[in-house]
Amino acid sequence: MTDDIRWEVVEESALTLADHEAITALLAQAFPDWSHWFLGSRSWSGMQPERRVLARDADGVVLAHVGVRRMFISVGSEDVLVGDTGLVAVSPRLQGAGMGRDLLERARSVLEGLDVPFGFLGAGEDRVPFYANLGWHHLDEVVTDYTAFTAEGAGMPMTEQGGWMVLPVASPLEDWPAGPVRLNAQQV
């Protein structure tokens, strides 16, 4: 099965309607509790990614996906450029087969190509060990404020503690400032 997989990095503006529909189908499967977000060709849940890493089978079915977007976030009293990383998904039938590791290695390459100091993502507490094994660092005790949008489009201020992670890309982890995080926007 994995021999027939084609990996690609796609800029958002290069995606076709059929691409968005294929990505949407995967995201609805991978995030069943949020499947009401992923209908038709709506292949994002907050801010649209700038670049996407996709794995497709020979029929064009999307098997894995991650989105990345450059943005500034506030950490303590500093503005930090990050590659906000999200919508990390692997087809449920392929989870546990190493595809997630391959996907995140390719996401790291995208972050390096974007020349951002850090990658940033929010993960469920149960997924922190997976990301930590791939070089992401859990921001213990960090509280993050962001704007969450409903499927209907209304923005809601949110505050969450736990599951926030950073990946040193072009800067060492020691350069990550201390303090609470404010995304000042949506997440990818």
User: Is 74 among the domain residues?
Assistant: yes
How far is it, in rounded angstroms, from Cα 115 to Cα 110?
9
User: Is 188 among the domain residues?
Assistant: no
Mean pLDDT check: name the lowest of 57-71, 97-111, 173-187. Answer: 173-187
Determine the average pLDDT of the residues in 97-105: 96
Determine the average pLDDT of the residues in 17-28: 96
What are 33-36's contacts with CB under 8 Å, separation 24+? 36/151
User: Is 173 among the domain residues?
Assistant: yes
User: Is 107 among the domain residues?
Assistant: yes
Domains of the chain: total: 1
Determine the average pLDDT of the residues in 129-134: 96
* pTM of the full structure: 0.89
Domain that holds residue 33: 2-182
CATH number, position 123:
3.40.630.30
User: Is 187 among the domain residues?
Assistant: no
Residue 1: per-residue pLDDT: 45
User: Is 17 among the domain residues?
Assistant: yes
User: Is 114 among the domain residues?
Assistant: yes
Checking if the pLDDT of 148 tops 80, the result is no
